[in-house]
Amino acid sequence: EIVMTQSPATLSVSPGERATLSCRASQSVSSNLAWYQQKPGQAPRLLIYAVSTRATDIPARFSGSGSGTEFTLTISSLQSEDFAVYYCQQYNNWPYTFGQGTKLEIK
Amino acid sequence: EVQLVESGGGLVQPGGSLRLSCAASGFTFSSYWMSWVRQAPGKGLEWVANINEDGSEKYYVDSVKGRFTISRDNVKNSLYLQMNLQMNSLRAEDTAVYYCATRGPLAAAGTRDYWGQGTLVTVSS
């Protein structure tokens, strides 16, 4: 099983600033990496797939990068609605696995 | 509009059984892989099972293999998760919100951009 490790566990950022979230895979997942956002009491929302492709209706301030085992989600200018938990997910090998999440909180 | 509505959750004793259902609408159900993903209270996400379009391929995470069964009915546009009736089958660590999920035509295979609201399963004596 591929283990996905996210850092940091919690990130405190002010609105309008940039946030950078990291995700590392225990082995290469090629470009089969996605990011999700989850708010309390809600289902996850797909943000990014194939490392850097934004899902439908996802704002351009969300961007993804990386390859192999190291990946990054960047939110260029944080809006109030962006404060949530973010998960990376690999779909290169079954079982598909998620990172433990990064909580993005208001500073 | 795509809708996924889960039902069947509740309180069940260890060793008991439960069948979760997911009613799908707004898309051609029989054309898409379907999944169950769970989330223990206050914890992260765990991908539990996948089933292909006609139900001939099924995949399970090791922690539920032999205990849970994913199935679908393409006439009723429904997905199921049978959480099985065996000694020690349901465990406290199965306590979670269970989400039904699928992907639309634009998202990558292996990702899920449509999710239900989830149904809570609590395993406790």
Cβ contacts of A38 on chain B, cutoff 8 Å = 45
The residue-averaged pLDDT of A34-41 equals: 97
Nearest CA in chain A to B112: A46
- CB contact, 8 Å: A9 with chain B? no
What pLDDT is stored for residue B105 in this prediction? 85
The residue-averaged pLDDT of A47-55 equals: 96
What pLDDT is stored for residue B90 in this prediction? 77
The residue-averaged pLDDT of A32-48 equals: 97
- CB contact, 8 Å: A55 with chain B? yes
The token duo for B60 is 């399970």
The residue-averaged pLDDT of A35-57 equals: 97
The token duo for A61 is 């301030």
What pLDDT is stored for residue A42 in this prediction? 97
The residue-averaged pLDDT of A47-71 equals: 96
Q: Select from B88, B90, B116 the least CA-distant residue to B11.
A: B90
What pLDDT is stored for residue B86 in this prediction? 65
Average pLDDT in chain B: 93
Q: Do A34 and B111 touch (CB under 8 A)?
A: yes
Cβ contacts of B116 on chain A, cutoff 8 Å = 43
Share of chain A above pLDDT 90, in %: 99
Q: DSSP of B19-86, one letter per residue?
A: EEEEEEESS-GGGS-EEEEEE-TTS-EEEEEEE-TTS--EEE-GGGTTTEEEEEETTTTEEEEEE--S
Which residue stretches of chain B have pLDDT < 50? none
Chain B residues 38-97 with CB within 8 Å of chain A: 44-47, 50, 59-62
What pLDDT is stored for residue B88 in this prediction? 63
What pLDDT is stored for residue B60 in this prediction? 97
pLDDT digits (tens, 9 = 90+) for A7-37: 999 999 999 999 999 999 999 999 999 999 9
What pLDDT is stored for residue B125 in this prediction? 86
